[in-house]
Amino acid sequence: MSEKKMTKSKLSTFFLLLFVLIMLPPHLFGQNSINVIIPKPQKNFPGKGKFLLAKQTRYFSNTDLSQNAIAYLQKHLKQNAKYLLRKVKVSKNKGIHFYYNPEKIKKSEGYRLHIEKEKIMIEARDKAGFFYAVVSLMQLMDPSIWEQSVSDRVKKSWSIPSCTIEDHPRFKWRGMMLDASRNFFSTEYVKKFIDRMAQHKLNRFHWHLTDDEGWRIEIKQYPLLTKTGARRGPGTKLPFSTYPAMRGPKNKVQSGYYTQDEIREIVVYAKARSIEILPEIDMPGHAKAAIVSYPKLLQDTKDKGHYRSVQKVSNNTINPGMESSYIFLENVISEVSGLFPFAYIHLGGDEVPKGAWKKSPAVHKLMKKEGLKNAKEVQNYFFARLDNILAKKKRKMVAWEEVMQGKTRLRQSDMIMAWKSQKAGIKIAKQRRNVIMAPVQYLYFDQQYIRSKKEPGHTWSTPVSTQKTYAFKPGNSSYIRGVQACLWSETLLNEKIADYLAWPRILALSEVAWTGQKKRKWKEFQKRASKEGLERLKVQGIHYRDVVPVR
């Protein structure tokens, strides 16, 4: 063979091998970089060498606070490596060490992760800190550690780059809302949603359980709420074609609700992942499902008025002039507070239609008795009474920003969610009120990524790209307690659409909520999210959208 032909043959072989290498999934090569974690840690220093996690690896812990974190790591190793880490009673200079160290770790949810060739040291002061340290540790591992489905492939060892991470969250409230009212989601999907939040250090799951289109939580004292209020479609009392779309064929009834046992199970599941669940019972508007279930308790029979909500739902507002409304709501709140241990309950307060109660004799009587001048003052009276009910249950209120119209009577410990704009949130913070930033322009994940007929999602507000979410600057006021994104389900006709609209925007949300403002750089985040971030989603079977910059 001539020298020319040999050279040509070698080049062909080289380019063939290069093509194969390019086409192989990145995680098959293992990860060498420590800059793969989402959300980005506050401090991350490279070390020398790698730690090899294998069947013979052992762990030591000096605290029960690390149990949830250890169990989470064990779960993934058992599924994807077919072995469990064994515990040793005496600390040795090898393996994985969990140490309770409040003297060194000063901030709640903070941790220190130090990885050497022979030893991993995890230090924290609380359960969340240990859990987030393990999440960071797992993100440094091959992405296949996150696989959810049972596979014949078994990875026997995991190479983890040496480094030192010192980390803590910027905000205490790092939330994500899922609307299960407009379109219902199974308990299995809710658990997956919560687990994926935990993987990115989000810690507040806002569960929107009631609205015009469905009541999704079992209340023992009022069985019609789920027997009647959880069913929508032909032959039901709820309108088939409200503004939102509805899953399934047009001749089929949509139904679904969560039993109290299912809710307890999900609460425990979330707690093990350092997530608190914020239940929302929307009122006084967005209450059609409750009203059709118990009209005599919640509406003034002498009210001859007719009004429609923004979503074109007629007469969907609980009457605040009737004592039966407060008895009903106190009983509901009593059962809800018994199911959810979180200190807060969300009571809605948004989008009360104009004209509601205008012709209600019961409301007119209330206004005269209490000296109320208009509908805003009636609503403030309504929420003041509900706040007293919550106080008796040792709970605090979260509500949408509309409850701040006029002179509010809410407690200082209550939280306000600002959704209409960032300016609205800043204005509320200046009134020395606790604010959760959730502006539609940046954090409503039901909106399209870009304006296109090919894209799913709403179009009533501006498009919300991943880059736009990442660009959000919540503000520095001490009254801004955190950030939250919302995934309303009007257009979520299946779980794939829900995943597509949520991911990768949740990756950006997590970094906005966790990482210091000065440490956030879009191009650097885009690189991490496009590679390791999406790879971790891919192995879990999440139907995500690509991270595409908007120019």
pLDDT in tens, 496-543: 999 999 999 999 999 999 999 999 999 999 999 999 999 999 999 999
Rounded distance between C-alpha atoms, residue 49 and residue 41, angstroms: 20
pTM over 0.85: yes
Answer whether 491's CB lies under 8 Å from 213's CB.
no
Look over the chain and give the mean of its residue pLDDT values, rounded to a whole number.
92
Examine the pLDDT at 71 and tell me if it is beyond 70: yes
CB atoms inside a 10 Å sphere around CB 110: 21
Looking at residues 69-89, what average pLDDT do you find? 94
> Which among 150, 157, 201 is positioned nearest to 176, based on CA atoms?
201
Locus of tokens 């609980």 = 318
Which of 60-69, 196-205, 234-243, 398-407 is least confident? 234-243
% of the chain with per-residue pLDDT over 90: 84
Task: Please state at what angle helix 260-271 crosses helix 323-339, rounded to 10 degrees.
Answer: 50
Which of 66-75, 154-163, 390-399, 497-506 is least confident? 154-163
User: Where is pLDDT greater, at 248 or 474?
Assistant: 474
Examine the pLDDT at 160 and tell me if it is beyond 90: yes
Rounded distance between C-alpha atoms, residue 277 and residue 194, angstroms: 9
Burial code of 487-525, b = ≥16 C-beta within 10 A, e = fewer? bbbbbbbebebbbbbbbbbbbbbbbbbbbeeebbeeeeb
User: Where is pLDDT greater, at 349 or 235?
Assistant: 349
Rounded distance between C-alpha atoms, residue 200 and residue 146, angstroms: 12
Residues in Cβ contact with 276 at an 8 Å cutoff, skipping those fewer than 6 apart: 203, 204, 205, 270, 342
What's the confidence (pLDDT) of residue 551?
Answer: 43
- 27-167 carries CATH number 3.40.640.10: no
User: Where is pLDDT greater, at 235 or 81?
Assistant: 81
How big is the chain by its Cα radius of gyration, in Å?
A: 26
Can you read off the two tokens belonging to residue 530?
Answer: 């496009």
What's the confidence (pLDDT) of residue 510?
Answer: 99
Task: Please state at what angle helix 323-339 crosses helix 375-392, rounded to 10 degrees.
Answer: 40
Rounded distance between C-alpha atoms, residue 127 and residue 243, angstroms: 43
Instruction: Kindly tell me the burial class for residue 537, based on how many C-beta atoms sit within 10 Å of its own C-beta (0-12, 13-18, 19 or more).
Output: buried
Rounded distance between C-alpha atoms, residue 513 and residue 113, angstroms: 20
Query: Which residues sit opposite 223 in a β-bridge?
Result: none
CA 201 and chain centroid, separation: 10
DSSP letter, residue 136: H
Looking at domain 173-538, its CATH architecture is Alpha-Beta Barrel (3.20)
Rounded distance between C-alpha atoms, residue 342 and residue 326, angstroms: 22
What's the confidence (pLDDT) of residue 7?
Answer: 52
% of the chain with per-residue pLDDT over 70: 91
What's the confidence (pLDDT) of residue 246?
Answer: 54
Which residue type, as a one-letter code, is found at position 184? F
Can you read off the two tokens belonging to residue 113?
Answer: 């992760």
Answer whether 390's CB lies under 8 Å from 410's CB.
no
Rounded distance between C-alpha atoms, residue 266 and residue 263, angstroms: 5
Phi, psi for residue 112 in degrees, rounded to 5: -130, 125
In what side-by-side order are the strands of the sheet with 111-115? 43-54, 157-167, 111-115, 119-124, 95-100, 58-61, 86-87
What's the confidence (pLDDT) of residue 28?
Answer: 42
Can you read off the two tokens belonging to residue 175?
Answer: 């939330």
Q: How far is CA 338 from CA 59, 203, 261, 332, 384, in A?
A: 37, 20, 12, 10, 21
Could you state, in order of their start, the residue ranges of all structural domains in the chain? 27-167, 173-538
For strand 157-167 and strand 111-115, is the pairing parallel, antiparallel, or unpaired? antiparallel
pLDDT in tens, 109-132: 999 999 999 999 999 999 999 999
What's the confidence (pLDDT) of residue 234?
Answer: 82
What's the confidence (pLDDT) of residue 239?
Answer: 62
Q: How far is CA 53 from CA 118, 120, 145, 422, in A?
A: 10, 10, 12, 45
Examine the pLDDT at 16 and tell me if it is beyond 70: no
At residue 256, the 3 state secondary structure works out as coil
Rounded distance between C-alpha atoms, residue 317 and residue 378, angstroms: 13
What's the confidence (pLDDT) of residue 9?
Answer: 55
What's the confidence (pLDDT) of residue 330?
Answer: 99
Looking at residues 63-69, what average pLDDT do you find? 98
Examine the pLDDT at 474 and tell me if it is beyond 70: yes
Locus of tokens 């899953």 = 247
Rounded distance between C-alpha atoms, residue 390 and residue 345, angstroms: 8
Model confidence at 27, in pLDDT bands (50, 70, 90)? very low
**Sign of the torsion angle spanned by Cα atoms 526, 527, 533, 539:** positive
What's the confidence (pLDDT) of residue 11?
Answer: 53
Can you read off the two tokens belonging to residue 483?
Answer: 């950030």
Model confidence at 26, in pLDDT bands (50, 70, 90)? very low
User: Where is pLDDT greater, at 444 or 31?
Assistant: 444
Residues in Cβ contact with 427 at an 8 Å cutoff, skipping those fewer than 6 apart: none
What's the confidence (pLDDT) of residue 225?
Answer: 98
DSSP letter, residue 105: -
Which of 19-23, 64-68, 95-99, 406-410 is least confident? 19-23
Rounded distance between C-alpha atoms, residue 53 and residue 48, angstroms: 16
Rounded distance between C-alpha atoms, residue 317 and residue 402, angstroms: 15
CB atoms inside a 10 Å sphere around CB 377: 17
pLDDT in tens, 383-400: 999 999 999 999 999 999
Residues with active-site annotation: 211, 286, 351
What stretches of 307-405 show up as alpha helix (H) in DSSP?
Answer: 323-339, 361-370, 375-392
